[in-house]
A and B are shown apart, each in its own frame.
Chain A
């Protein structure tokens, strides 16, 4: 995918906060704003924004998704075209993927030339938060301090569509006092997958439980990730199982907002979690 390279670091960006962050995790949105501002970027929040349409698109409802995609283009398009912002930044790999990759599927260049042009030009300046910090602003150390064991889960869209992986890992590696631990199967899907988590709840849960086992095995206090949807899924399982570890959005760690004292003490070792590592080590 073509991304714009900036001669001058962008001074002003539009925040695409995403509906889940807006409604469920506003603290992630605020951490994103503070991070950007601390690195000299002015943030504009276009208040008309709602949802990018990803749930509809993923479920196959393209006409419905197109309605919301048009809306997104009409809200963010003029800001970029009139030079009011240099870029669009979102604290979400999957919503960034939706607007900068999948919108092209919705707007055929022959049938919708204007929209197609607009989504291509927006795609070039839309960035996921860690991608923006590292690749565009050149920030590798956000000055955060986080005392605790941290591991990283690579969210699928971020990793495989945007191919952003080194950026969040670099940023985490430079967090003061954080002890980074390896996570087996860090690149395996947590099992969320939008409506998949409902339509195929059993498989989705089994996938998440595998992730939870690896997390228990890693001994991490928190698992950092770049998508609140995966975060909801992983936390939903961890909290239901009474596990010690918690998933947090990377912006919260990079903005040093996380209180590691908060999670409950580790429960008695889970039988399955204890057996699993042995089995996997046998294989290798």
Chain B
């Protein structure tokens, strides 16, 4: 099969190298990210996109400022509706809560609707280790579950695969005859999944937003599987990060609009499933039990450490689609549930064990495209800069870099040392450049990382300041002469 699976636990360098070497990955990423980001631009320009972003941000800022109160309001209303609320400090508490609910309800099989937060806490593994069968029902998520991979994008988990790759997975795992017809492939998956919906005792989903004033959890999907997960099994468990709530119904639709337009460029998604409580008398469907797990897992620390802005995120994936780095390496290279610019910010702040998480804040050219695309205007470049600065302050920067930086600043701190360094660099670089046709083709490490793929120009023989001085001298001569 063409698309390689990147081991999330491999060193960062290795993950990136594998991603960059994978030409099929590049094709798949280019196609989908360009399509998604052009759709976003069109959908945001169709309305007053700036106003939508401003209003959404204001609303989410209000949520963060009033988080404890709103969470309690949410809890009160869910409970009043007949649902149960559970508070989980970390991943293991959340796993234990869901397992206990499953045990008490005698659950053998779980159907899931795509959820990043359950990926974050590795819920599937925990359930499977306890002997439960877990089936992902979002088509993309189903494909990667069959392939044994984690999602590589916040909203499009299988974005890294081409149709050819998916066909290969289906042929191997579902005995599908060879075909590249998406409709045929879809039909096969759908038939399989239908059986799972009918036989599962428990449905688990994430939460796109929960409405505090009504105690309603909302999930946004395009396939209808979400609705079946929330209403067909006896028990429905919704797992949400504590930041993913909105105060009122109006706010819910504000966020819904910002989310749909930013993630897939839709005006609204095909399905919006709202669950306020278990099935009441006379209801035609709905779960008998309704549970909401409120997960912290590092989020209140994030707020306390000055990275609260990252909690405004509505998980639309717009920053991934416009990120030139994500476009080259895809989600798996980040080694974390959350990839792209937002992943580079939150992965090092979450308690999850991400291999080389410290390198993620540096995996950005700080171009700022992500900030312009973000529906809540999260200043991602600034957060990345803050993380870098925190690392330096915590003495985590590489020794060599620190030394180099000190020498750099000392040199730049005086005109004389700056000019001397310039002269030296000019002499050395011109000598070397003369040997290799005018440009530098080799530099010593760590600068060799540049010259492996790029030329570097020699320093000027005469600096600007020297030319300037000559020019001023000429002028004085002319003035004196005149």
Contact = CB atoms under 8 A, between A and B. Distances in A.
Interface of A: 17, 19, 21-27, 29-30, 33, 45, 47-48, 50-51, 53, 55-62, 64-65, 67-68, 71, 105, 156-157, 159-161, 187-189, 191-208, 210, 232-233, 235-237, 239-240, 279-280, 283-284
A24 B453 contact: no
B369 interface: yes
A60 B466 CA distance: 32
Given A188-B324, A280-B30, 19 more contacts: A23-B464, A24-B460, A26-B467, A29-B468, A55-B405, A56-B405, A156-B365, A159-B368, A161-B368, A191-B365, A193-B367, A194-B366, A202-B16, A205-B453, A208-B453, A279-B30, A279-B31, A283-B30, A284-B38
Interface in B447-482: 447, 449-450, 452-457, 459-460, 462-468
A89 to B, nearest CB: 14
Contacts of B468: 29, 33, 45, 47
Contacts of B325: 200, 203, 207
Contacts, number: 201
A23 B459 contact: yes
A19 B402 CA distance: 21
Main secondary structure of the interface of A (DSSP, over half): helix
A67 B391 CA distance: 19
Contact of A26 (B367, B406, B413, B460): B460
A157 B366 CA distance: 9
B35 A283 contact: yes
Contacts of A203: 16, 20, 325, 328-329, 363
Contacts of A201: 449-450, 452-453
Nearest to B31: A283
Interface in B287-337: 324-325, 328-329
Nearest to A18: B464
B132 interface: no
B389 interface: yes
28 contacts: A23-B425, A27-B460, A29-B464, A29-B467, A30-B467, A53-B409, A55-B408, A56-B408, A59-B401, A67-B413, A68-B413, A71-B413, A105-B385, A156-B365, A189-B365, A192-B365, A193-B366, A195-B362, A196-B362, A201-B450, A205-B454, A207-B324, A207-B325, A210-B324, A233-B454, A235-B457, A236-B454, A240-B455
B463 A22 contact: yes
Contacts of A30: 464, 467
B337 to A, nearest CB: 20
A87 B329 CA distance: 43
Contacts of A198: 446-447, 449-450
A200 to B, nearest CB: 6
A235 B456 CA distance: 8
A22 B367 CA distance: 24
B439 interface: yes
B270 interface: no
Instruction: Give the interface SS of chain B, mostly helix, strand, loop or mixed.
Output: helix
Contacts of A284: 38
B415 A191 contact: no
A27 B329 CA distance: 37
Contacts of B422: 22-23
Contact of A239 (B372, B455, B463): B455
B409 A56 contact: yes
A61 B392 contact: yes
Nearest to A70: B413
A74 B447 CA distance: 32
Contacts of A25: 457, 460
B214 interface: no
Contact of B405 (A27, A59, A191): A59
Contacts of A47: 415, 465, 468
A67 B408 CA distance: 11
A199 B445 CA distance: 11
Interface in B419-441: 422, 425-426, 439, 441
A195 B408 CA distance: 13
Contacts of B447: 198
Given A24-B459, A60-B391, A199-B362, A240 B454 contact: yes
